[in-house]
């Protein structure tokens, strides 16, 4: 009886241990599934953010684009450092060509987590694959036609309206050119933007801008391909000719023109007043009356 009781107790213990192992396996599987689902959701959110905010200028593993390749950026700067770059590039020491994306910290952390996940991956994002599979594009030597350059200048200054009703470029941007009025100072000066970004970069920015202010200004008012080509041609021409441009001081020129106009008007008035009587008219009437008496 004692032997059977011992066997029974051992069997119960074995059953309990087996059940415990099964529960642990189920809990482990559930945790793994939850982590996998969370990782998948994070990857999807990070990929969406990357394609919306970064893909116009950067690749992950596909080589430099407008900006540098971001593969390994997290390993180089660390997660906190990369988040700081996304939140405020200027404060983090980057060049002015890197815009402030205006994203909240949560999105910045999601984006950095995606970059961290992708830095060791052999694959690339869809945008990177397309860039990698296509032959490397060389900067074309040919410039825009005179008609395109003229149209680009008129669009930039607002002499010609954009087809979708967007604001003129010089409302916010300035270029140094003898042939064009100075523009605003709310955004970057664009005289040498073509040298900094090239045709591909300028076209990409105009086609899908990563700048929050520009996104808001042109929401639903996107540039047409013809307008993009014209603006690129104009900026390329301005960049090429910037060394020959004389600095424009429109304030002094307008003041000088106004002062000159005043002098001319005073001269006209002085000539017109030469034939006017210098004596009082009443004095002449009095003199005539005295003589008649």
Exposure class string for 63-93: b at 16+ Cβ within 10 A, else e: eebbbebbbebbeeeeeeebbbbbbebeeee
Q: Inform me whether the pLDDT recorded for 137 exceeds 50.
A: no
- Cβ distance 104 to 45 under 8 Å? no
- Domain-embedded: residue 258: no
The verdict on residue 60 lying in a domain is: yes
CA dihedral 237, 239, 242, 248 (to 10 degrees): 80
Percentage of the chain beyond pLDDT 70 is 67
Same domain assignment for residues 178 and 229: yes
> Which of 21-30, 116-125, 160-169, 196-205 holds the top average pLDDT?
160-169
Contacts of 278 (CB under 8 A, 6+ apart): none
- Among 127-141, 142-156, 265-279, the range scoring the smallest mean pLDDT is 127-141
* Position 34 confidence tier, pLDDT thresholds 50, 70, 90: very low
Q: What is the pLDDT of residue 226?
A: 94
Report whether pLDDT(128) > 50.
no
Q: Which domain holds residue 46?
A: 39-133
Residues 150 and 238 in one domain: yes
Residue 257 or 66, more confident: 257
Same domain, 150 and 129: no
pLDDT band at 273; cut points 50, 70, 90: low
Same domain, 95 and 182: no
What CATH number should be reported for the domain holding residue 239?
1.10.760.10
Q: Spell out the residues 6+ positions from residue 279 whose beta carbon is closer than 8 angstroms to its own.
A: none
| Local confidence band at 32 (pLDDT 50, 70, 90 cut-offs) | very low
- The verdict on residue 264 lying in a domain is no
- Higher-confidence position of 216 and 1: 216
Neighbours of 171 (CB within 10 A): 15
Question: Looking at the domain assignment, is residue 218 inside a domain?
Answer: yes
Mean pLDDT score across all residues of the chain? 75
pLDDT at 225 over 70: yes
Which of 202, 227, 244 delimits the end of a domain?
244
Q: What's the pLDDT at 224?
A: 93
pLDDT of 148 reads 92
pLDDT of res. 154: 92
Which phi and psi angles does 108 have, rounded to 5°? -60, -40
82-96, 110-124, 126-140, 279-293: range with lowest mean pLDDT: 126-140
The pLDDT tens digits of the residues spanning 180-206 come to 777 777 888 888 888 877 887 888 888
How many domains does one find in the chain?
2
Task: Return the pLDDT at 250.
Answer: 54
Q: What is the pLDDT of residues 79-104, one digit of tens each?
A: 898 888 888 888 888 776 677 778 88
What average pLDDT does the segment 214-241 reach? 90
Whether 97 maps to a domain, the answer reads yes
pLDDT in tens, 39-51: 456 667 888 888 8
* Residue 229 binned pLDDT confidence (cut-offs 50, 70, 90): very high
Question: 124 or 268: whose pLDDT is higher?
Answer: 268
Q: Which pTM value belongs to this model?
A: 0.53
pLDDT given at position 14: 54
Same domain, 124 and 162: no
225 assigned to some structural domain: yes
């Amino acid at each position: 009886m004692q032997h059977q009781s011992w066997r029974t107790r051992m069997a119960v213990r074995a059953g309990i241990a087996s059940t415990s192992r099964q529960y642990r396996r189920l809990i482990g599987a559930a945790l793994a599934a939850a982590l996998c689902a969370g990782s998948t959701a994070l990857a999807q959110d990070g990929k969406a953010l990357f394609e919306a905010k970064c893909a116009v200028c950067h690749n992950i593993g596909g080589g430099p684009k407008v900006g540098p390749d971001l593969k390994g950026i997290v390993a180089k700067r660390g997660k906190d450092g990369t988040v700081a770059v996304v939140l405020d590039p200027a404060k983090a020491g980057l060049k002015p060509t890197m815009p402030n994306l205006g994203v909240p910290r949560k999105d910045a952390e999601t984006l950095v987590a995606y970059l961290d996940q992708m830095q060791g991956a052999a694959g690339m994002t869809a945008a990177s694959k397309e860039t990698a599979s296509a032959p490397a594009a060389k900067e074309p030597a040919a410039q825009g036609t005179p008609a395109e350059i003229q149209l680009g200048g008129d669009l930039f200054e607002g002499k010609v309206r954009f087809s979708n009703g967007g604001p003129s470029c010089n409302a916010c941007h300035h270029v140094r050119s003898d042939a064009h009025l100075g523009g605003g100072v709310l955004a970057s000066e664009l005289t040498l933007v073509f040298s900094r970004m090239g045709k591909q970069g300028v076209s990409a920015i105009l086609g899908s801008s990563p700048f929050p202010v520009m996104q808001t200004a042109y929401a639903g008012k996107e540039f047409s391909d013809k307008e993009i080509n014209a603006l690129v041609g104009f900026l390329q021409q301005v960049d090429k000719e910037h060394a020959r441009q004389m600095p424009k001081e429109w304030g002094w020129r307008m003041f000088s023109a106004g002062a000159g106009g005043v002098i001319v008007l005073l001269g006209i008035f002085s000539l017109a007043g030469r034939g006017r009587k210098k004596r009082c008219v009443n004095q002449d009437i009095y003199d005539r009356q005295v003589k008649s008496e």
